[in-house]
Amino acid sequence: MAYVISDECISCGACEAQCPVGAISEGDGKYVINPDECIGCGACAGQCPVEAISEA
């Protein structure tokens, strides 16, 4: 299942570096996860300092 980033995102970028498939990119005011590329590993969720990433 793909992960999503909520509006709680502070755009720190910690999650982007952790994604093994490059599914995370900087969006408009927050980072976004491409659901077609996300493999559901959860590596990004563990790096988010504000817990803005969860399973969709």
Contact 2, 45 (CB under 8 A): no
- Amino acid identity, residue 18? Q
Distances (CA, A) of 21 to 8, 41, 50: 23, 10, 22
pTM: predicted TM-score of the whole model, two decimal places:
0.91
pLDDT (mean) for 31-50: 97
Question: Which pLDDT score, from 0 to 100, does residue 30 have?
Answer: 97
Question: For residue 1, what pLDDT is reported?
Answer: 85
Domains, the chain, in order of start with CATH, read 3-55 (3.30.70.20)
Average pLDDT for the chain: 97
pLDDT for 22: 98
- Burial state string for 40-53 with b = 16 or more CB within 10 A and e = fewer than 16: eeebbbebbeeebb
pLDDT in tens, 6-33: 999 999 999 999 999 999 999 999 999 9
Sign of the CA dihedral running 23, 27, 32, 37:
negative
- Structure confidence at residue 4 (pLDDT): 98
